Amino acid sequence: MKTKTKTPAKKAARKTVVKSSRSSRVAKSSKESLEDIFEDMLKDIYWAENHLAKALPKMAKASHNEELKEAFESHLKETKGQISRLEQCFALLEMKAQGKKCAAMEGLVEEGQDAIEDHEKSHARDAALIGAAQKVEHYEISSYGTLRTMATVLGKVQCAELLEANKDEEAAADEKLTRLSEKINKLACEGGQEE
Ligand code: FE
Ligand code: FE
Ligand code: FE
Ligand code: ZN
């Protein structure tokens, strides 16, 4: 583990709050910055979900196993519902639904693309696709967990519920992929190209 260094002073310099006594400045800026972080993370996951929605049809098409293909197709439907929950969140916050590029999701989707490019349509490709997809699910689960907790702390109860609903859906999608991987990894291990 790397040792944590102190957060740079530029973070504080970014704040427009007027400096007063140390304790009140910290209290005020930490509340404001939590709201800023929450809003930024909401834009991040909104971009991420929209980016994933474009990748899922490719992952479905690249799947050899019919059940896996259906899992990606049904997760696309869920993803569209998640995007609409995020839009409800933006509306509740009186914010414009706007994405902010998520470097993590961009990279995770690239790994999914690699799984397709590196393998012929086979059980092995399916196993690689599931691996990439589960990384996506875990990123989303952690993002929604973080956002839900922030929304709760910030008193945004309805947003917290919407974010929790997305989190639960991602967790169920992840579990479904684990179940599929148990079957598909076995097939990949046997090395067969047949169903
Ligand atoms: Fe999602
Ligand atoms: Fe991100
Ligand atoms: Fe990686
Ligand atoms: Zn997902």
Per-residue model confidence as pLDDT tens digits over 34-89 = 999 999 999 999 999 999 999 999 999 999 999 999 999 999 999 999 999 999 99
DSSP 119: S
Q: What's the rounded Cα separation, in Å, for the pair 183 and 178? A: 9
What proportion of the chain, given as a percentage, has pLDDT over 70? 82
User: Which pLDDT belongs to residue 161?
Assistant: 98
Mean pLDDT of 145-172: 98
Q: How far is CA 84 from the centre of its chain?
A: 15
pLDDT digits (tens, 9 = 90+) for 75-120: 999 999 999 999 999 999 999 999 999 999 999 999 999 999 999 9
The Cα angle at residue 34 between residues 36 and 91, in degrees rounded to 5: 55
CB atoms within 10 A of CB 193: 11
Separation of CA 96 and ligand 1 centre (Å): 20
Q: Is the pLDDT of residue 9 over 50?
A: no
Separation of CA 87 and ligand 4 centre (Å): 16
Nearest ligand to the CA of 108 is 3
What proportion of the chain, given as a percentage, has pLDDT over 90? 81
Separation of CA 75 and ligand 4 centre (Å): 7
Strands (E), 108-180: none
Q: What's the rounded Cα separation, in Å, for the pair 128 and 118? A: 9
DSSP 174: H
Q: What's the rounded Cα separation, in Å, for the pair 32 and 18? A: 12
Tokens of 110: 């690239």
pTM, entire model: 0.82
Distance in Å from the first CA to the final CA of the chain: 44
Please give the backbone phi and psi of residue 9, each rounded to the nearest 5 degrees, phi first: -70, -20
Separation of CA 83 and ligand 1 centre (Å): 8
Separation of CA 47 and ligand 3 centre (Å): 20
Q: What's the rounded Cα separation, in Å, for the pair 123 and 61? A: 14
Instruction: Give the residue from 38, 187, 182, 54 showing the smallest Cα distance to 125.
Output: 187
Mean pLDDT of 112-138: 97
